[in-house]
Amino acid sequence: MDTSTAKGRTLLLAAAFVLAACSAPPSPPAPAPVTADVPAPARVGGDRDAHGCIPSAGYRWCERSARCERPWELAKAQGFENTDEAFVGYCGMPSAR
């Protein structure tokens, strides 16, 4: 066997070794960290009062219209001043804040 054939075979074996090492299956992913019982964050808009109104979105119950209203929108639509007192006066109930 001449030296060029020996070098070729050595080079071929080295290349095969490198390719085999690169094609090895990856290690499995690390398991997810274990956490203590952490409560889920509150959903936005998930708060509701006794009438089903969403206070965090600005809604309050109005007896007069029998529905959840945004005071500033109701004041504009009905032409009264945008104050808590005017809302209570229009809706006929005390403030539930």
Residues linked to residue 68 through DSSP beta bridges, in sequence order:
61
pLDDT digits (tens, 9 = 90+) for 7-63: 777 777 666 666 666 666 667 777 777 767 777 776 767 889 999 999 999 999 999
The total of structural domains in the chain comes to: 1
Specify if 20 maps to a domain.
Answer: no
Specify if 82 maps to a domain.
Answer: yes
**Which helix or strand (DSSP H or E) is residue 91 part of?**
helix 84-91
Please give the DSSP secondary-structure letter assigned to residue 83.
S
Specify if 54 maps to a domain.
Answer: no
Residue 57 CA to residue 75 CA, distance in Å, equals 16
Specify if 26 maps to a domain.
Answer: no
pTM: 0.52
Specify if 28 maps to a domain.
Answer: no
Specify if 23 maps to a domain.
Answer: no
pLDDT of 64 strictly over 90: yes
